[in-house]
Amino acid sequence: MKAVFAPKAGPPEILEIRDIPKPEPRKSEILVRVHCATVTSGDANLRRFNRVFLGAVGLIAGFKVMKVPGVEYSGVVEAAGAGVSAFKPGDQVRGTTTGLAMGANAEYVCVPEHPKMGVLIHKAPELSHKEAAAVCVGAMTALFFLRKAGVREGDSVLVYGASGSVGSAAVQLARHFGARVTALCSGANAPLVSDLGAERVIDYRTSDFRDEGNRYDIIIDAVGKLKKSGVKDSLTDGGRFLTVKSMTKEINEEMEFLQDLQVSEELKPVITEEFSLDRITEAHRLVDSGRKRGNVVIPIVTEP
């Protein structure tokens, strides 16, 4: 099968398209024909890191070195191990390969029925594989933060870096919970972020929100550029600051929650670029630029 292969750590140019053996599902695994995958900022980080170091850390953290990248996918079950009960061939599924040795930037991927670190759910038939792949780890991260912050109706929420994968989901989810959202992004992305439901959009390149003297119940730094000490005067008493630099968790039930919001069209996938598997290097270059808007998808099977 065709797969993206990272023989070593390095820039996007190290990525190769290789013909590698199609994986075979173990007893508790399913084999998924990947219809659409993505390139996330996490994939770019994995590619960049020193793999020996990552391997040592991985042993402790339970991660494995990933030679085939790709954390997010949507596809169709091709085969199921004898011990699998919830999935059968032909089922449409979506999930992540978090913590697995092989990623989903490939024609096929094997994933456990009960992932230890990632998620796996049935894909709603109303959604395309692209829509499913594009609402995944970024959205789960945004949801994790909003829940941790205890977001409530009427809260004022500031989303810093609102045009990325985490940020674009945070704006929409905060709106879903009834919050009023102020969003920061570059001027060019202001229309996109307004469309997602932000009440106010500030261009962080021309104004510093801290100078306005406004206070927020929740500040979410979706790009990891702020420090808590730098925003404490912009928080209300008891206000909470959350940053993508902290640990999050992938939870199946939360993926189901996000899927329901997608089906009811309260959560839109933000897809601004798509690349074929053969153009994986270009996709990584875009993610490396730090200017990706929303999510970058890699369709592998052409959808009708």
Ligand X SMILES: NC(=O)c1ccc[n+]([C@@H]2O[C@H](COP(=O)([O-])OP(=O)(O)OC[C@H]3O[C@@H](n4cnc5c(N)ncnc54)[C@H](OP(=O)(O)O)[C@@H]3O)[C@@H](O)[C@H]2O)c1
Interacting residues with ligand X between 208 and 227 (CB under 6 A): 222-225
Residue type, 52: V
Question: Dihedral (C-alpha) 87, 91, 97, 98: value to the nearest 10 degrees?
Answer: -60
| Using rule CB under 6 A, residue 49 touches ligand X | no
Give the x/- contact pattern for ligand X in 59-78, rule: CB under 6 A: --------------------
User: Residue 168, Cβ neighbours under 10 Å: how many?
Assistant: 35
166 binding ligand X? (CB under 6 A): yes
The nearest distance, CB 142 to ligand X, in angstroms, is 9
Q: Note whether 234 binds ligand X by CB under 6 A.
A: no
| Cα 164 to Cα 121, 192, 296, distances in angstroms | 24, 11, 10
Which residues does 191 contact at the CB level (< 8 Å), separation at least 6? none
Number of C-beta neighbours around residue 115 at 10 A: 18
Instruction: Output 38 or 92, the one with its CB closest to ligand X.
Output: 38
Interface with ligand X in residues 252-271 (CB under 6 A): none
Rule CB under 6 A: choose which of 128, 204, 257, 282 binds ligand X.
204
Mask 174-203, x = binds ligand X (CB under 6 A)?
A: -----------xx--x--------------
**Helices assigned H by DSSP within 156-235:** 165-176, 190-195, 228-231
Tell me the two tokens of residue 293.
């808007």
Q: Which two tokens stand for residue 241?
A: 């600051």
Cβ closer to ligand X: 64 or 225?
225
Q: Which residue ranges make up the site for ligand X (CB under 6 A)?
A: 40-42, 45, 137-138, 141, 160-161, 163-167, 185-186, 189, 204, 222-225, 244, 287, 290-293
